[in-house]
């Protein structure tokens, strides 16, 4: 068995090998001095800095034809169906196959974990998670369940018509969830492409100071979209010669178009927020997406799901009423800034950690580190955490 296939069989609790290169060998944004925004990050700089949130991933790889997988985001350690969290959806552009969202919007809550996978695997993943949920203790009387499953299309690197994700993969992702998040070409990001380079899973967090509430906001992304890559304002995509509408602008050096694609953005916070303000929070994640150079093209499915883990806003199943203590509108602005910053950095991490993948129809090259760092130095956008005043 090859290193690549053997690694794909792991539950991803530790860095894996992809094409012979450990993801741990590729840096995150802060490892190269790319510091985004004004707020400090959490201990892991991950969505799991929000207490109780866990992430599980399974990568499905077979030769060069299958590069896909599952990423599971679990809001808390209990049974989410019995102890629901308020949630909201914001749609930047609705070209996608996101299941469970009409009920999520109607009730303003999650009753299952969130799964991310490939486009044609959505329904298999939803069925597998529903079966896994109803088999749990305390679920014997359940007659309805609303799985929330998002996707991006990894058909360039993955033979998507084979629908390689199975129920076993989904269960393994759910049951292997931990506080450690592996990034890059893993899980639901195994076959994704962003800005013409290899995309993938990325995460980041922000911790507000006590004077602003002390709350944490964490973001996880599945990056598979297009545009002109911009990092802290530096035009990295243009400098590297990969950006959208190149041919129409007369650049014939490359025949690819980096315009289309999709992104799933998952936002978690411990701030006590109801579904109305969670939708407002979700909408600000798009600010971070825009900063990276996305234009949210016609063929892009750009979705944000946000939820709160705060005990004061949880909803017990069949409770006749909920006594909710949530933040007022005037307390939201710091959280808006935090989610934009964390989204931007999560996208950078998804690109920087991703490794080159040879796939079904093409090869997606990893973002070239040396050239990228050189560009960032030339535009003086590194080490802002040390050089800019606080």
Q: In the structure encoding, which two tokens stand for residue 142, read together?
A: 């359940």
Cα distance between residue 93 and residue 275, in whole Å: 20
- Token digits for 21? 């290169």
- Angle at which helix 122-134 crosses helix 167-175, to 10 degrees, equals 60
* Phi and psi torsions of 107, nearest 5°: -95, -20
Sign of the CA dihedral running 192, 8, 173, 288:
negative
Told to judge if 185 belongs to the known catalytic residues of this protein, a careful annotator would answer no
- Do 265 and 90 meet the contact criterion of CB atoms below 8 Å apart? no
Candidates 223, 262, 275, 294; catalytic one: 262
- Angle (nearest 5°) at CA 219 between 231 and 224: 60
Closest CA to 256 of 190, 302, 195: 195
Report the candidate in 122, 152, 115, 342 with the shortest Cα–Cα distance to residue 263.
Answer: 152
Total H helices, total E strands in the chain: 9, 17
Annotated active-site residue in 49, 270, 302, 326? 302
What contacts 305, CB < 8 A, 6 or more positions away?
87, 88, 89, 104, 114, 148, 150, 264, 265, 266, 267, 282
- Distance CA(240)–CA(366), nearest Å, equals 12
Annotated catalytic residue, options 205, 300, 308, 350: 300
Q: DSSP letters of 312-371?
A: GG-EETT-S--------GGG-HHHHHHHHHHHHHHHHHHHHH---EE-SS-EEPPPPHHH
262 is catalytic: yes
Max distance between CA atoms of the chain, in angstroms, equals 64
Q: Is 300 considered catalytic here?
A: yes
Cα-based distances in Å from 285 to 177, 230, 289: 24, 16, 7
Which of 109, 334, 330, 111 lies closest to 216 in space, CA to CA?
A: 334
Pair of tokens at residue 386:
């040390």
Which residues are the active-site residues? 262, 300, 302
């Amino acid at each position: 068995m090859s290193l690549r296939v053997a690694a794909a069989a792991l539950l991803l609790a530790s860095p894996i090998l992809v094409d012979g290169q450990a993801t741990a060998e590729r840096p995150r944004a802060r490892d190269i001095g790319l510091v985004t925004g004004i707020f400090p990050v959490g201990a892991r700089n991950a969505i799991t800095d929000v207490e109780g949130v866990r992430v599980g991933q399974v990568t499905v790889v077979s030769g060069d034809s299958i590069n896909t997988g599952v990423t599971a985001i679990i809001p808390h350690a209990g049974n989410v169906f019995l102890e629901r969290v308020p949630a909201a959806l914001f749609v930047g552009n609705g070209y996608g196959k996101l299941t469970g969202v009409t009920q999520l919007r109607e009730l303003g809550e999650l009753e299952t974990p969130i799964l991310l996978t490939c486009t044609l695997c959505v329904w298999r993943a939803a069925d597998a998670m529903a079966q896994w949920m109803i088999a749990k203790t305390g679920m014997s009387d359940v007659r309805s369940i609303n799985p929330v499953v998002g996707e991006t299309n990894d058909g360039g690197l993955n033979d998507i018509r084979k629908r390689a994700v199975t129920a076993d993969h989904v269960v393994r992702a759910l049951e292997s969830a931990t506080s450690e998040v592996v990034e890059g070409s893993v899980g639901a990001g195994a076959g994704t492409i962003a800005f013409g380079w290899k995309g993938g899973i990325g995460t980041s967090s922000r911790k507000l100071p006590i004077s602003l509430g002390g709350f944490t906001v964490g973001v996880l992304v599945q990056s598979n979209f297009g545009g002109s890559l911009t990092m802290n304002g530096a035009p990295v995509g243009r400098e590297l010669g990969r950006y959208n509408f190149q041919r129409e602008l007369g650049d014939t050096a490359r025949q690819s178009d980096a315009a289309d694609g999709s992104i799933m953005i998952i936002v978690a916070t411990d701030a006590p927020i109801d579904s109305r303000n969670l939708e407002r929070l979700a909408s600000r994640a798009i600010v971070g997406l825009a900063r990276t150079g996305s234009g949210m093209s016609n063929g892009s499915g750009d979705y944000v799901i946000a939820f709160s883990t705060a005990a004061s806003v949880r909803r017990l199943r069949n409770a006749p009423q909920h006594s909710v203590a949530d933040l007022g509108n005037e307390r939201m602005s710091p959280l808006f800034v935090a989610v934009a910053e964390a989204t931007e950095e999560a996208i950078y991490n998804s690109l920087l950690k991703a490794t080159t993948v040879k796939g079904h129809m093409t090869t997606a090259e990893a973002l070239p580190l040396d050239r990228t760092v050189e560009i960032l130095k030339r535009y003086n956008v590194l080490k802002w955490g040390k050089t800019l005043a606080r």
